[in-house]
Amino acid sequence: MRMTDEQKAAARAVIITAAGRRFRVDGMAGVGIDALAREAGQTSGAIYAHFTSKAAVFAAVVDAGLARLRAGMERCRAAGAGWARVFVRQYLSAQHRDQIAEGCLLPSLSADVARGDMDLRSAYAADLARAIDTLAEGCVGATEAERRQTAIALLALGAGGLLLSRAVPAGPLADEVLAAATAAAETVLGPAT
């Protein structure tokens, strides 16, 4: 019996979600198609039915991960004015730091993207630019360029702060790194209104 288009889309989404977890934890080089298939509860053949290669799965994970980042920003909009501050506090939380498999791909996979081909890097750049634009809408500044610069700084502080905090054993230094990144982000955001 042939799968419907809806079933194919659902199976592809399951693969992308499961692969995203594995790539975030193990990196692009640290996981093969067989491990991705096991994580998704699929066969290797099922993966290849949806994707031509592991690199194609990774590209889909990156695209989905940046869409998730923008969706998280959109959820923070419900806080009203100052929603960018809400986003930063959630992003730089100990909970987000400790949930690597479910967390943002920026601190986990950006280095793998940087080693990728030009198509992957170009798609990442386009998706990252959309995330920057979304976050800039919640930032203060006299001009669009100032708001965009603030958004870029916040994402850099967030991703870098999480990465460094995850790189050391859990404990005082990890917490100090997270707190310092949060304080720097608060400075970039300026006084709360």
* Residue 95 CB neighbours (<10 A): 9
Long-range contacts of 65-68 (CB under 8 A, 24+ apart): 65/20, 65/104, 65/105, 65/109, 66/105, 66/124, 66/127, 66/128, 66/130, 66/131, 67/127, 68/104, 68/105
From CA 21, how far away is CA 108, in angstroms rounded? 10
User: DSSP code of 100?
Assistant: G
Residues 106 and 160: their CA atoms lie apart, in Å, by 9
Using 50, 70 and 90 to split pLDDT, how confident is the model at 107? very high
For 51: left if phi > 0, alpha if psi spans -120 to 50, otherwise beta; the answer is beta
pTM greater than 0.75 (yes/no)? yes
Residue predicted with more confidence, 66 or 7: 66
pLDDT band (50, 70, 90) for residue 193: low
Give tens-digit pLDDT for 2-15: 778 898 899 999 99
Q: What is the pLDDT of residues 162-191, one digit of tens each?
A: 999 999 999 999 999 999 999 999 999 988
| Residue 21 CB partners (closer than 8 Å, separation 6+) | 39, 101, 102
Q: What band does 1 get if pLDDT is binned at 50, 70 and 90?
A: low
